[in-house]
Structure 1
Amino acid sequence: MVAVAAAFGSWSLLLPVVPLAVLSADGSSALAGATTGIFMAATVVTQIFTPAALRRIGYTPVMTFAAFMLGVPAIGYIFSMEPAPVLLVSALRGIGFGALTVAESALIAELVPARFLGKASGMLGVYIGLSQMLFLPTGLALGAKFGYDLVYLIGAGIALIAALMCLRIPRIKAAAKAAPQPLEGAAAEPQAEVPTWKLVLIPALAVTSLSMTFGAVSSFLPAAVIELDPALGAALAGIILSLTGGSAMVFRYLSGVISDRRGIPGTTMIPAQISGFIGVVLIAATIYQGWSVWLLVLGAIMFGGGFGMVQNEALLSMFFRLPRSRVSEASAMWNISYDAGTGLGSFILGIVVAALAYSGAFAAGAAVIAFGIVLTVADRIVGKYRITEFNNTRARLRQVPVARKAVQSFRQVGKRKPELFDEKPQH
């Protein structure tokens, strides 16, 4: 937890500072935006390859390298703000961020017993959220008072602390992919596996639908607050994003506690999506109608709480649906869904802002969340009959001709026993 909090502290410290530093050095706004864009592009590409690295190299070296790369290359910003070196340094830091985000969530699933996984994942969100709330404004304040070079050095130092803490992580590797074992006495032929995308698609889209809207909230809500109430909005503009992040942090942890108590994830998924939807609708309506700015605060808290719960529920659902040996893939898919959704939301809903103003952009974000709710409800219905590829009694019995005939006979005479043939999937 300390290693991850320090790494995210380094990232949060530099995130708003680098674009401002580019502009202060007479760089173009396109270059300032490109620093974040190439950072996220390198992040997503790295996330694709991180599960293989965790199997081959192990968590400790990957996370140590990732923490180092996330912050230490920022020293390069001191020497040049020309386009080529700035973009190169940003790409190197994106590599570190991509590897770290995948490894951290997967490591929790490797270390923590399954019955505590919800709470542990929620606590991970608490450490990350507190780090962001502390270091995002700190970087801007230090840069304004002491100059940006000091921020780069502090960011590099915090990243080194994270790297040293990573050395204390248990030296384990991600488990090799487990192949399904044939039934005893059955022909030794490969068993059909359910494609991974079928199992993780809906949780991934649930995260993406809210992270797209979060991209709009983080980019445009402060400006919308100021536009709605110039006097009060100036004071609330910076606070409202912190309230969104704080709400996400608290409710992410609560969803984990509920998941652990029930022994299965997904209980709060749909209510959380509905909360996020209502929050964004309230934001859009308040801006359109010119209502009190305090309703924007309420909407931001409702959206943040729903988003935090969906984050945890989606990650736990992926862990639950995939074998334990594939937690690194689950973590990678979750992070890609989150990061890609945030980037797409900022870009696409930014275009909507130009055409339909802030209220139109948030209304479009609400429509995206509503689509995600429909998919989750459909997945909940299909999930009652879902068969996964490992250790599922119903799926394995169907592979034996004698057993299949027995099932048909039971159905015909009305003596079929649901507890025998409709056993819930084991993961």
Structure 2
Amino acid sequence: MLLSTTLLFTGYALLLSVVPLWVVRQGSGEFAAGAATGVFMGATVAAQCVVPALAARVGYRLVTAAGGLLLGLPAPLLILTTDWPGVLGVSLVRGLGFGLVSVCGSALIGELLPASSAARGSGWYGLATGLPQLLGLAAGTWAAGTWGFTGVFLVAAALPLAGVLPLLLLPKLLPDNSGPAVRRRAVTGRTWRPGLVLFSGAVGLGAMATFVPLVLNGPPAAVSATLFVVTGAALLGRWSAGLLAHRVSGSGGMLGAATVVLGLGMALFAVTGPIGGPLALTAAIAGGAVFGAGFGVVQNDALVVMFARVPPGAAGVVWNLAFDAGQGAGAVLVGSLLAGIGPVGGFGVLAGFALVLLPVARAARVTG
């Protein structure tokens, strides 16, 4: 599962910043660039809502395989698509595939592992999803500028298709409903707090992944470095949180501090990214690293809290809905704000959104 996840998420991450850049290069504006990410994530969220029913019928293996095909097969069509409506169509289909893949992966952590190992399993799953984003976000924009967009689109198609192959080694794995008995209408009540905190961080991630190449006042190397440190810090933060979770009393014990950290990191990026110059660029990259570290901890702790409160399948759906809806909302929101209040104001709004959620984050933990 981890091998498949790595390949699938690499195909996803390669195009996360490249597609908005492609839209702009074809003559469309920043709103259309944000809409490409927004449509992708909107389709992702729509697909995630039907995963439990699909998995109950055919199992996680087939649902994940179908997602890999939908994610990879349409990518080469971007080569032929020079108008933004066509790009949005491809993004919609790929988003549906990513929705199936993402929910199945996180749900399988709870399905395959005992509860005592859920935090560490989430940390390792974080590596399988985070390493592709660490390399893919930075490498995608660099490769598009160095070798051209065509090669990136082809690689982004091949990797998800290769990721389908390891799934053949999995059993059928129908959802296990032996966890905490929770009615569907009660799931929201038990998960909205960690979900909202996760959503706020994902809004920031979606905005940075979409608009760092467009608003950072620096050379392409600085853009790649910023995307690299954001995803790298998130990867280390999530993995470290998984290793340290057993030392913290109760699930979600680090959510409050991590929320403050990610908000402060976003604020630092907001005030320094558009300035330019060596000192401002260094500060912007540092802000990205601080944001990423805090968001990585939030990712892990939010999932563990959800596992403690609802069955794994429901936790996987809610976690991924919050994450992917946040990414899409961040891209669309900042795309709308840039023309009105500029990058400082746009990213500053996201920093404030995270910081005001500190009471929610502190109330989300599960004691004991």
TM-score, L = length of structure 1:
0.76
Structure 1 position 311 matched with structure 2 position 303: no
Deviation at 1:134, TM superposition (A): 2.3
The answer to whether the Cα contact below 8 Å between 2:187 and 2:314 also exists between their aligned partners in 1 is no
Q: Give the equivalent residue in structure 2 for 1:161.
A: 162
Deviation at 1:245, TM superposition (A): 0.9
Change over 3 Å in CA distance of 1:156–1:217 after alignment to 2 = closer
Change over 3 Å in CA distance of 1:235–1:11 after alignment to 2 = closer
Change over 3 Å in CA distance of 1:308–1:178 after alignment to 2 = closer
Q: What is the rounded CA distance, in whole Å, between the counterparts of 1:135 and 1:194 in structure 2? A: 37
Deviation at 1:329, TM superposition (A): 1.6
Q: What is the rounded CA distance, in whole Å, between the counterparts of 1:216 and 1:249 in structure 2? A: 18
Change over 3 Å in CA distance of 1:281–1:78 after alignment to 2 = closer
Deviations 1:219-261 (A, max 9, x none): 44555541xxx5xx66423201211110110010111111234
Structure 1 position 339 matched with structure 2 position 342: no
Q: Give the equivalent residue in structure 2 for 1:61.
A: 62
Q: Give the equivalent residue in structure 2 for 1:283.
A: 269
Q: Give the equivalent residue in structure 2 for 1:257.
A: 243
Q: Give the equivalent residue in structure 2 for 1:212.
A: 203
Given the alignment, which residue of 254, 258, 261 partners 1:268? Answer: 254
The answer to whether the Cα contact below 8 Å between 2:137 and 2:228 also exists between their aligned partners in 1 is no
The one-letter amino acid paired with 1:202 is: R
Q: What is the rounded CA distance, in whole Å, between the counterparts of 1:235 and 1:192 in structure 2? A: 50
Structure 2 counterparts to residues 123-138 of structure 1, below 5 A? 123-138=124-139
The answer to whether the Cα contact below 8 Å between 1:39 and 1:94 also exists between their aligned partners in 2 is yes
Q: What is the rounded CA distance, in whole Å, between the counterparts of 2:323 and 2:228 in structure 1? A: 19
Q: What is the rounded CA distance, in whole Å, between the counterparts of 1:18 and 1:239 in structure 2? A: 19
The one-letter amino acid paired with 1:348 is: L
Q: What is the rounded CA distance, in whole Å, between the counterparts of 1:195 and 1:125 in structure 2? A: 27
The one-letter amino acid paired with 1:243 is: V
Deviations 1:337-368 (A, max 9, x none): 11112222233344444343333333322221
When the two chains are superposed, the root-mean-square deviation of aligned CA atoms in Å is 3.1
The answer to whether the Cα contact below 8 Å between 2:61 and 2:170 also exists between their aligned partners in 1 is yes
The one-letter amino acid paired with 1:370 is: L
Deviation at 1:31, TM superposition (A): 5.7
The answer to whether the Cα contact below 8 Å between 1:11 and 1:155 also exists between their aligned partners in 2 is yes
Deviation at 1:57, TM superposition (A): 1.1
Deviations 1:122-156 (A, max 9, x none): 12112222212323344444444554444333322
Once structures 1 and 2 are overlaid, which stretch shifts more, 294-303 or 247-256? 294-303
Change over 3 Å in CA distance of 1:320–1:85 after alignment to 2 = same
The one-letter amino acid paired with 1:328 is: G
Deviation at 1:264, TM superposition (A): 3.7
Runs of 4+ in 1 over 6 A off after TM superposition: 191-194, 287-291
Q: Give the equivalent residue in structure 2 for 1:396.
A: none
| Secondary structure, aligned partner of 2:73 | helix
Q: What is the rounded CA distance, in whole Å, between the counterparts of 2:183 and 2:326 in structure 1? A: 32
Q: What is the rounded CA distance, in whole Å, between the counterparts of 1:284 and 1:36 in structure 2? A: 20
Structure 1 position 99 matched with structure 2 position 100: yes
The answer to whether the Cα contact below 8 Å between 1:319 and 1:327 also exists between their aligned partners in 2 is yes
Deviation at 1:28, TM superposition (A): 3.6
The one-letter amino acid paired with 1:93 is: R
Structure 1 position 13 matched with structure 2 position 4: no
Q: Give the equivalent residue in structure 1 for 2:77.
A: 76
The answer to whether the Cα contact below 8 Å between 1:101 and 1:335 also exists between their aligned partners in 2 is yes
Q: What is the rounded CA distance, in whole Å, between the counterparts of 1:225 and 1:15 in structure 2? A: 17
Change over 3 Å in CA distance of 1:167–1:206 after alignment to 2 = same
Deviations 1:392-413 (A, max 9, x none): xxxxxxxxxxxxxxxxxxxxxx
Change over 3 Å in CA distance of 1:14–1:335 after alignment to 2 = same
In structure 1, runs of 5+ residues without a counterpart are 181-190, 385-423
The answer to whether the Cα contact below 8 Å between 1:251 and 1:306 also exists between their aligned partners in 2 is yes
Larger radius of gyration: 1
Q: What is the rounded CA distance, in whole Å, between the counterparts of 1:147 and 1:281 in structure 2? A: 33
Given the alignment, which residue of 281, 299, 302 partners 2:290? Answer: 302
| Secondary structure, aligned partner of 1:195 | helix
The answer to whether the Cα contact below 8 Å between 1:115 and 1:263 also exists between their aligned partners in 2 is no
The one-letter amino acid paired with 2:304 is: L
In structure 2, runs of 5+ residues without a counterpart are none
Q: Give the equivalent residue in structure 2 for 1:175.
A: 176
Q: What is the rounded CA distance, in whole Å, between the counterparts of 2:151 and 2:183 in structure 1? A: 56
Q: What is the rounded CA distance, in whole Å, between the counterparts of 2:216 and 2:34 in structure 1? A: 23
Q: What is the rounded CA distance, in whole Å, between the counterparts of 1:192 and 1:136 in structure 2? A: 38
Deviations 1:247-297 (A, max 9, x none): 110010111111234574212111111211222333345569999323323
Q: Which structure ranks higher in relative contact order (CA pairs < 8 Å, sequence separation ≥ 6)? A: 2
- Percent identical: 32
Change over 3 Å in CA distance of 1:28–1:162 after alignment to 2 = same
The answer to whether the Cα contact below 8 Å between 1:220 and 1:358 also exists between their aligned partners in 2 is no
Q: What is the rounded CA distance, in whole Å, between the counterparts of 1:289 and 1:301 in structure 2? A: 18
Deviation at 1:85, TM superposition (A): 5.2
Q: What is the rounded CA distance, in whole Å, between the counterparts of 2:256 and 2:317 in structure 1? A: 23
Structure 1 position 200 matched with structure 2 position 191: yes
Change over 3 Å in CA distance of 1:165–1:373 after alignment to 2 = same
Q: What is the rounded CA distance, in whole Å, between the counterparts of 2:183 and 2:42 in structure 1? A: 34
Deviations 1:159-202 (A, max 9, x none): 2210111111232111247796xxxxxxxxxx999821111010
Structure 1 position 245 matched with structure 2 position 195: no
The answer to whether the Cα contact below 8 Å between 2:17 and 2:209 also exists between their aligned partners in 1 is no
Q: What is the rounded CA distance, in whole Å, between the counterparts of 1:124 and 1:97 in structure 2? A: 16
